[in-house]
Structure 1
Amino acid sequence: MAETNSGRLSWRAGGDALADIEQRQLFFIGGAPRSGTTWVQLLFDAHPDVCCKGEGLFPHYLEKGLTRIVEEWRQALSQKNNTLFRQSGGYQLPDDEDIDFLLATGILRAFNRQCRGGNYSAIGEKTPENVFLFPRLKRLFPHAKFVGVVRDPRDALTSALHIFYKAARDEGHDASPMDFIRHSLGPMIQGTKAMLALCSQYPSACAIVSYEALIADPKASVSRLFDFLGVESTSNIVDACIAKTAFSSLSSGRAPGDGRNSEFFRKGVVGDWKETLTPEMNRVILDAMGEWFPFFGWKP
């Protein structure tokens, strides 16, 4: 909330600020980890009229934390209402709308904070797991837009093996690479289904972009994303955003294909899975997610 000259919180001023943020074009980015969500977030943030940051971790902490707190509060009140205050009626219980209101307020506060006073027409946030929260976010913010990022799951899992699996091994976890892949496929399938379901229900509020399309034709892909968000997509703006977020710019000068498995921006290419995955790994992934390959234009 905003502060007065005395340093005290001004609820009215804070509420007005959040109401102003809510009037902007809000949007959320989600998709499987290592699918290109950070790249898309940075492309949006490079636009002069867009503020898009990551990761706010709204699904991990804000939603889960508020749900737990309100449920514990509800249980505590209910217990007293049914015992000590049984004859006097007790106190009215909080409900799920309280969680929604607090969650929406927390997200708007985060958006207000990330803008640092800037006057942006579009404000967004990227957390890969947002994809599981898309339906609820749509309910909280009916005018929000949603961007799903997809990538050939073999490439996404290859990147994840080099980044997350190695980190897990370093921490003492002894799962095999195949176990890691099998464990990762469940959430990837659920996320893809959630993304496609929302796009089917609200086609004008959803856009899906693939890592492969961004590599093959960045200008067309970025122009489409900016048009979807309702911000300028002139050649100068699009070219500047692409240049600012090119792999060489994000990786301290490395060219695409110059891989470093310890770096967040690891390699920046399509088809790297062929150098890492075994035929059995490829089969397991195709068995699990092959039905979507034609839809997204991936080749088995």
Structure 2
Amino acid sequence: MSELKKILYLGVSDLGKSNVEWYYYVFKESFYRFLQDKRINAQINIDLYIIQENYDFDIEKYDLIIIGSGPYFGLNEILNIYHRAANFNIPIVSWCTGFGSTDKIEEQSNELSELLLDLNAVSVRDYKTKNHVVSLVESRNKDIWTLANPLFLSRDSIEIQKNESEDILVNIDQQLDEHTEEQFEIAIQILLNKGYLITLNPLNLKARKYIKFFGEKFTEDRLSIIEETSSLNRLKRLINQSLLTINTDNDVSVLSASVGKPFISICKDDNIKEFADYIGFQKLVHSNEQLHAGLILQNVDDIQSNYCQMLKQIKKVKNSYSFDTIYEEMINILGLKEMCKESRIEINESLAGSIPEHYSGKEESPIFVGGAGRSGTTLLRVMLNAHPNLCSGPELKLLPMISDLYNQTNQLTSIMHSYHLEKSDINDIYATFVSGFFRKFKNWSKADRIIEKTPHNVLIMKELANIFPKAKFIHVVRDGRDVASSLVEMNWRDFQGKPLWYVQNIKNAAKYWAQVVNKAINDSNHPQLRDNVLTIKYEDLINQPEQIIQTVLNFIGEPWSPEVLNYDQVDRGYEPEESSTKQVSKKLYTKSKNRWEKQLSQQDKENFKQIGGQLLVELGYVKTFDW
């Protein structure tokens, strides 16, 4: 494995934070995919930095800086970072970058020319930007690659088939002006009368209040309002469920095309028009001033009549674009070209599908969540699952059995040696095996990282750490008295239909809780695990959710996302029902805290003190046995 390479991706907050993160996730996904295709087995971490004025950060630790997608070239902050990077000889590359106001170009032409000439590689998002760049570098030898809005180049596949859905998703990013609102209202009412289902979706916090006001103009059941803003993956799912989209945000129109859905764009500027020209959607783009209800209705009819033809055109144009050229330049800059094994080794076809999807150290391994049953592990799972970069399905339940098999395999030393298998080979085999259970779900979720939550993961952390040396573990602890009170209400049975021993009475439940927590704490101090286990308390999670989730995200190396607090809005209908399904479908509540005070008899309390009383003291839940 090569040394760790660090990339800094620069985003700009005035685009709206969600858009910045969308671009960042597309960059990460596509770059790791490129590394996979080229068989480059490198450790690469990519950090997002959202530029803030007068905010200092440690730039010298990075091997490459990316000026991200958006109108960034002319910003003072970009120019300042460029000068700082030059002091440390850090290369800089632009990725699908654009210009903002043309006034900036004239005001800062000398500085911009210097920046553009010094960039190690230049890629821009449209031909208008390319023309500006060419004028600034004049005739000097500089390769400039024109890509597209990166949201269009995400890896979503496009199926050429007629969509039978009657749903129209209307995405709004701000309050509409009086004329546009009036025409929207007329068009939506007519579409409702024709039998279409209309969903109003706010793209940011600013639009939420306005959409609620606008939606109150309609009384039909066929109109629904989404009250929370959506992550990128959730927005993709909403678009996929629709026949078409109507958008006041350019990026969402591009995203709609990327996943294979026609769009109608109500644009505030010309940026979307060049993209619409590429894919032959010129008649579906309207300025606020020219908009009238008849145009929207005509567009909907045209889309219905030419649906498959439109999808074929989108797919054709999408397939003509690629990030490969700029990414090849980036691996040259990072000194990774010699690691490209594509032409030097023969890949075993039977193993090709098992190559990890991503090549950053943190993306290669799952994140494991566990704790004693009824400790709040499901709540943590669904909150993290709402993060746009993470996905987590229901309990796999197989890992304890796989762990037993893994231990048995390692005991067959002579047999393994006969097959020329070292311990590292066995670890790789099991890593591929376990990862195979997650791969399709991760692809479907369009997330970078998988979280597996099974309570008893904390009992097999050593085994999992051998299989996945870079794995992170999160141990959720809850007051054992509440755990025991909840366990005895569970109708949990083994494979033979017999009640599990630890749900039969408080004494057994206390013993089980103490055993699980003690083993997890002891194992977390093992040298192999010491820096890779985070212990959190359920009570802290429900009382201070933002603070605790921020701690968890810092631990696993992910940026903050407000979506984690809106976990109850995520559609998890594909999951089988579990013991906590109903509870985690609601907003956070604290009524399950201290339930033991009402449910435990005095004898139950005495039994618990004998078994788990000292552990309660050590964990800080009580100071004495006087309770």
The reply to whether TM is greater than 0.5 is yes
Displacement of 1:126 after TM fit? 0.6
Distance 1:108 1:141 in 2: 10
Among residues 53, 57, 62, which one is paired with 2:397 in the alignment?
57
Displacement of 1:99 after TM fit? 5.4
Which residue in 1 is equivalent to 2:556? 229
Within a 5 Å distance, the mapping from 1:67-216 to structure 2 comes to 70=409, 100-164=427-491, 180-201=505-526, 202-216=529-543
Among residues 369, 372, 376, which one is paired with 1:32 in the alignment?
372
Residues 372, 516 of structure 2: 8 Å contact kept? yes
SS in structure 1 of the partner of residue 370 of structure 2 = strand
Which residue in 2 is equivalent to 1:276? 599
Distance 2:502 2:356 in 1: 50
Letter in 2 for 1:107: V
SS in structure 1 of the partner of residue 455 of structure 2 = coil
Displacement of 1:116 after TM fit? 2.8
Residues 148, 173 of structure 1: alpha-carbon distance in 2 compared, 3 angstrom cutoff: closer
Structure 2: gaps of 5 or more residues: 1-347, 572-579
Distance 2:394 2:581 in 1: 21
Within a 5 Å distance, the mapping from 1:242-257 to structure 2 comes to 250=583, 256=589
SS in structure 1 of the partner of residue 460 of structure 2 = helix
Residues 366, 450 of structure 2: 8 Å contact kept? yes
SS in structure 1 of the partner of residue 476 of structure 2 = strand
Deviations 1:202-237 (A, max 9, x none): 443111111111122111111111111111115x34
Deviations 1:238-287 (A, max 9, x none): 43347769x99846669947xxxxxxxxxx52011122211121122222
Residues 118, 216 of structure 1: alpha-carbon distance in 2 compared, 3 angstrom cutoff: closer
Among residues 565, 570, 585, which one is paired with 1:239 in the alignment?
565
Residues 403, 463 of structure 2: 8 Å contact kept? no
Residues 354, 436 of structure 2: 8 Å contact kept? no
After TM superposition, the score normalised by the length of structure 2 is: 0.37
Displacement of 1:16 after TM fit? 1.9
Q: CA RMSD in A?
A: 3.8
Residues 159, 93 of structure 1: alpha-carbon distance in 2 compared, 3 angstrom cutoff: same
Among residues 285, 289, 292, which one is paired with 2:612 in the alignment?
289
Distance 1:196 1:293 in 2: 13
Within a 5 Å distance, the mapping from 1:1-20 to structure 2 comes to 10-17=349-356, 20=359
Residues 62, 121 of structure 1: alpha-carbon distance in 2 compared, 3 angstrom cutoff: same
Residues 21, 112 of structure 1: 8 Å contact kept? no
Deviations 1:120-139 (A, max 9, x none): 33322011111111011112
Residues 188, 102 of structure 1: alpha-carbon distance in 2 compared, 3 angstrom cutoff: farther
Distance 2:547 2:374 in 1: 22
Which residue in 2 is equivalent to 1:298? 621
Distance 2:444 2:360 in 1: 11
Distance 1:54 1:292 in 2: 30
Residues 101, 212 of structure 1: alpha-carbon distance in 2 compared, 3 angstrom cutoff: same
Distance 2:584 2:392 in 1: 20
Displacement of 1:297 after TM fit? 3.0
Letter in 1 for 2:597: K
Paired residues in the alignment total: 263
Residues 185, 174 of structure 1: alpha-carbon distance in 2 compared, 3 angstrom cutoff: closer
Displacement of 1:145 after TM fit? 0.5
Letter in 2 for 1:226: L
Residues 218, 242 of structure 1: 8 Å contact kept? no
Considering Cα pairs closer than 8 Å and 6+ residues apart, tell me whether 1 or 2 has the greater RCO.
1
SS in structure 2 of the partner of residue 28 of structure 1 = strand
Between stretches 278-287 and 183-192, larger displacement belongs to 183-192
Greater gyration radius? 2
SS in structure 2 of the partner of residue 103 of structure 1 = helix
Distance 1:174 1:134 in 2: 23
Residues 18, 109 of structure 1: 8 Å contact kept? no
Displacement of 1:184 after TM fit? 3.3
Displacement of 1:183 after TM fit? 2.9
Displacement of 1:140 after TM fit? 1.7
Between stretches 212-221 and 111-120, larger displacement belongs to 111-120
Distance 2:440 2:617 in 1: 41
Displacement of 1:38 after TM fit? 0.8
